[in-house]
Chains A and B, each alone.
Chain A
């Protein structure tokens, strides 16, 4: 018997799991396929979505000519797949034979080559072209969070009831629902409607699921959004109740309506057309037919990855051999986010003052909370996606009169008012010329924006209500703040995981990060991934406040971490777009601390200049000879320019994640490609801390990496395409133009620089412990086992490197790499 809910559960797995724009969170695009091994999953996904598995062969060809793919890499890749030399030789030959890309094919997805194609072929009816625009419009208006002025009537009902009510009340036609048969359906429950329509349209129960899948895959963006909102209704400010089956019922009604119109009531269902199933389900066979070129591409891709891994591990091992010395006394310790963007600034900062020591840890600093900012009505989650926060922290103003000093936005021109008839007319007449001035300044003098902004932003100070005074849950069901014990627990776990349990410097800076860009619908994707796409400053402020409490230090002392009284934690935030750092709560510093702090600020300033210069190398239109301070000015400009689709390169090129002591990477030029997590193997012989670290690092970094990977490999299917024609729809997503499907994934402007390489996690520990730690959580181990990320261990004692291949750690020296066969 056909079970709709079960069917939808399995169908919805293939739908993209992307949140509304304001909560963009990086995730593995092919989550649904994660139970398969990476390369298998690519192929299955490719036949479902009609996407590329790898880059074009010519891409690898060019990489080979440019030396990006080394002979060593090719040999490693071949050795990974074959045991004997003869085969390796044959396939190596094949790789070079097919390098011109003449045999490249793009598979067709289920949406364009499946059962539903039958309607076009057999009765000449393009249902999608006719039905989708109006369905998307209704759905878009239902989900709208504040763009349309006039909202859908009965929007407080659930989607199906709302549409039913509208259809009932409306005497005007919504094509093709004019038919009595169709109108009747809206009085039924959605489940019954779905079944009824499927029976009529498809006929055979065995084909139901295929048909539904194909149907939803013609618009994965909207379908995925519906599913996400079904699962997490709290992601919308204005709540909506809708289920995927509501959408499905509506769509099937439209489809039935069109078929009735075209063929009257007596059309034949799909299953009655002879040979239809065989004729229209050829996408899988197509993949089989081209398995050879796919295999060769896989080899090329592996070579591409190995060429990078090889070089990266070489440089790490070299650095390990150099035995960097530790300075006598550290004056400042800085905790960075493990983000790949911190990679360069840490290097610069250390090079300007060897007495500064840096650490890396996920940018939420272990503080799992919902944060209620002074500026927002609703609290926002500031911790990684899988974490379910139980606490909530509010921001309060130190002054009372904060309401008057609000940022006054939006101006008349940007709001709805300008789009209505009469008010719009007045605004046009009054502010039209003003718009010209604003436009001229925004385009020709973007810097002025800062002057205006600085004036507008209120300068009053705020506090966070971190300490819990009341044990009751608040009305949203969270604890208001933390108790001292809970605080100590959070501080302890972070300090322990990065191995910072003694030798505290007088000043510990907690450097969260966030970004600022204008005219950018995907702004949330630029912020801290560990904070669910938010700025990390509330987290660093909370952490610092906690660690500065004498009560907390007291408790910590019992568990073996003694923080001296001279040590003070200072929260700060690094704006990764403008390369500016702002510091919070510095007024309590003692005189000595203040002196150190002043010194640190100067060094940081220098480091930021050089960081900006390093970033500018990646921007094609910037001269490579730009001076550091000019580079800083330039990146600042990028963040304010409304015409800049690339405010920063974000995570582009991320490929490496190093879990270990800083000495592994100190001074190594990793080109902003590595996530750096501090970890001291000596304090964690059993691997418990490592397991905890992997639990946070793998989904966050792996998610970022794979989202970039897939958006790069197929920008139109997995990615959002070019962002230039994007149009914000209902504040939940972007579409191309005013019609069409929501675009999911990352826009090509974010990923075009990205080298699609799977993340390699290098752990500084013995392979046995590394394996044990990874095995502790089956979800984490699945990533490694199925090779969605590569896993390597560097033994701190023997300095030998082991790489996870197949199903075991292999010594690096045994993985080949002599050059071409």
Chain B
């Protein structure tokens, strides 16, 4: 039993490895691997479910030991299977089987066949882990896996700008809202000593384990969870990314946006139900967000003239209803609704190319003299109001513009002000050397000082400032990927150092973190440096399309990017956790900037990857 549940997570990842290693050779081997992996997953899920049912539906909780263990922190590997897992797992297995079988034919002869399957299985690994993760830390790992694989699938057609740009949008939203879970995981370690285990997460437990003086923290924690759920489930005000993400092949749209990925947020809320139900504010937030989303998404969806866009909004609106349901505490009802919605929307998306035939047949019914779209509810409204509402929906409720204006623009402006970046200033080669050498020298200097001087919090503050400084620089730099990349590297490096410097006994934790960051940073730099004229690349923010001339380099660069942004399979991820949690004893203060950097560096690093490796090839022109 133990092994089986564990396999459920490992199997997709092993499949990814196989596909990456063997895949480029032939379509047949990839589809064979996919098929085998799929069948095994189905068998495992089936046997787990049967065992669970025989055992009178008793929750299964399994402990596999510790990924890392020290006296002040453990990273336990615990899996947990209950009713919600059952729903999510069965649903995802079913959808994945359908989609894999579908895609084996549908993507036949498509360029990037194996890339597609690798991304699909990475996603499935994430989803499986999500449904059976026993701790919040593992849950977060799954969450990140889903985020990155979504990015890869939306930008599947990487030689065109539009999919890549929309993939970046989606990733940026994901990453911003991931801040909720990032800080939430940290906070949960402070509130519940040893972190959150879903197995014993009951309202009573929450009440019992929270110190009365910490009750405001529960409110904060809940809001953080809700924030994350909102982003992943494309709820207000983040709804705009979902319809735009319909850029990949139809089956990937089905599995993600219609199907599993948008419901991950709902699942998070179900998992942490016991916690956020304690906070009236969170309940109000969930209900309101759900209500607003349901209304806005319905309006926007009604004015969509494209099939997939309409389905996307319909799905968002239904998820909004689920949020409302959760607000009222109807957990089982939401689970049922969720499953039904996943099936229906996946089905709709997969048959969406049939729309012409369907509508033609519908219009051709002799008793249907009126065109279907001639009548709609809105006709009842007065003219002016109707037009205004229409314009409002046409602009997709101004969500994207609003978010850009109130969230992203201030950040970018802030960074620009610091560095005085002028938009069209000519690139100066001296900048390059100044930054490259300056940064290297400076970090050496800091390192040197560390060993010469006794540890003191002041170093930590300096390090934090440096990390922020470099992070902002990376955000505002527009002329050279080389500089951006190195700034991100330095920034990540120092954000790790910040905590390391606070507690000198965290040497080992810091080492783990750096062992993830440093190699990726260096290898990434080497890859960039191997491109001719690398220092001046990136003018005008063009997508360069390295992947088309050097697919291997692009792949390695992706790995490096994942390493830097703390993708779960890298030591960076563990190191991040370690550093944060080891610090729980200390002050909360440095965590917020680190969180901001986590978001910022993540977005900028992935943006750099996209700009450099994706898009149409501009190296030859």
Contact = CB atoms under 8 A, between A and B. Distances in A.
A640 to B, nearest CB: 12
Given A146-B373, A149-B373, A738-B306, A727 B318 contact: no
Interface string A749-791: 1001000000000000000000000000000000000000000
A406 B365 contact: yes
B393 A643 contact: no
Contacts of A373: 364
B353 A427 contact: no
A375 B367 CA distance: 11
Interface string A316-336: 000000000000000000000
Interface string B135-170: 000000000000000000000110010110010000
A167 to B, nearest CB: 9
B388 to A, nearest CB: 5
A144 B298 contact: no
B98 A148 contact: no
Given A643-B106, A645-B108, A736-B247, A141 B303 contact: yes
A144 B362 contact: no
Contacts of A520: 353-354
A144 B354 contact: no
A418 B348 CA distance: 9
A238 interface: yes
Contacts of A170: 387-388, 390-391
A124 B304 contact: no
B344 to A, nearest CB: 4
B358 A643 contact: no
A147 B355 contact: yes
A376 B365 CA distance: 7
B64 interface: no
A147 B251 CA distance: 21
B308 A431 contact: no
Interface in B375-417: 376-378, 383-384, 386-388, 390-395, 401
Given A134-B394, A146-B372, A727-B246, A644 B304 contact: no
Contacts of B163: 725, 736-737
B486 to A, nearest CB: 26
A740 B390 contact: no
B294 interface: yes
Interface in A245-268: none
A683 interface: no
Contacts of B352: 727-728
A729 B303 CA distance: 12
Contacts of B344: 413, 418, 427-428, 431-432, 435
A436 B87 CA distance: 14
A443 B162 CA distance: 30
B52 interface: no
Contacts of A124: 423-424
A728 B157 CA distance: 18
A737 B246 contact: yes
Nearest to B369: A377
B98 A169 contact: no
Q: Size class of B's contact patch?
A: 35 or more
B383 A169 contact: yes
A207 interface: no
A519 interface: yes
Given A147-B304, A415-B362, A725-B250, A424 B318 contact: yes
Interface residues of A, number: 97
B309 interface: yes
A514 interface: no
Given A407-B361, A425-B321, A519 B98 contact: no
B250 A22 contact: no
A440 B42 CA distance: 14
A726 B337 CA distance: 29
A726 B355 CA distance: 12
A730 B372 CA distance: 13
B306 A147 contact: yes
Given A21-B356, A376-B364, A729-B306, A413 B339 contact: no
User: Which of B248, B356, B384 lies at the interface centre, i.e. has the most chain A CB atoms within 10 A of its CB?
Assistant: B356
Interface stretch (A31-39, A56-64, A150-158): A150-158
User: Which of A145, A166, A427, A644 lies at the interface centre, i.e. has the most chain B CB atoms within 10 A of its CB?
Assistant: A145
A431 B246 CA distance: 24
Interface stretch (A2-10, A171-179, A301-309): A171-179
Contact of B391 (A166, A722, A730): A166
Given A172-B391, A428-B340, A641-B105, A738 B246 contact: yes
B243 interface: yes
A165 B387 CA distance: 9
Interface string B289-313: 0000011001101111111111111
A374 B365 CA distance: 9
B371 interface: yes
Given A22-B356, A641-B105, A724-B250, A147 B310 contact: yes
Nearest to B377: A150
User: Which of A373, A414, A415, A442 lies at the interface centre, i.e. has the most chain B CB atoms within 10 A of its CB?
Assistant: A414
B7 to A, nearest CB: 24
A373 B361 CA distance: 12
Interface string B330-362: 000000110111111011101111111111111
B190 to A, nearest CB: 39
Interface string A99-128: 000000010100000000000100010000
B318 A724 contact: no
Given A420-B302, A432-B341, A728-B307, A150 B393 contact: yes
B432 interface: no
B109 interface: yes
A168 B303 CA distance: 19
Interface in B79-125: 94, 98, 101-110
Contacts of B366: 374, 377, 403, 406
A419 interface: yes
Interface in B266-308: 294-295, 298-299, 301-308
A598 interface: no
B394 A138 contact: yes
B559 to A, nearest CB: 26
A439 interface: yes
Contact of A421 (B157, B317, B350): B317
B348 A425 contact: no
A135 to B, nearest CB: 11
Contacts of A175: 395, 401
B353 A728 contact: yes
Interface string A617-658: 000110000000000000000000111111000000000000
Interface in B601-621: 621
Contacts of B339: 432-433
Contact of A729 (B105, B106, B305, B372): B305
Given A150-B378, A427-B344, A724-B106, A409 B361 contact: yes
A663 B362 CA distance: 47
A634 to B, nearest CB: 12
Given A147-B359, A641-B105, A644-B105, A738 B308 contact: yes
Contacts of B47: none
The 10 nearest A-B residue pairs measured at CB: A432-B340, A724-B249, A419-B314, A150-B302, A738-B309, A436-B343, A169-B387, A140-B305, A435-B347, A737-B247
27 contacts: A140-B305, A141-B303, A144-B305, A146-B362, A146-B373, A148-B305, A150-B377, A150-B393, A170-B387, A374-B366, A377-B366, A377-B369, A409-B362, A415-B372, A428-B337, A428-B340, A431-B340, A433-B343, A435-B348, A519-B350, A519-B353, A642-B102, A643-B105, A643-B106, A723-B353, A728-B353, A738-B244
Given A172-B395, A377-B369, A728-B352, 19 more contacts: A120-B540, A146-B362, A146-B372, A153-B390, A174-B395, A377-B363, A410-B359, A421-B321, A428-B341, A429-B340, A433-B339, A436-B347, A440-B94, A443-B98, A519-B350, A643-B106, A644-B105, A722-B249, A724-B250
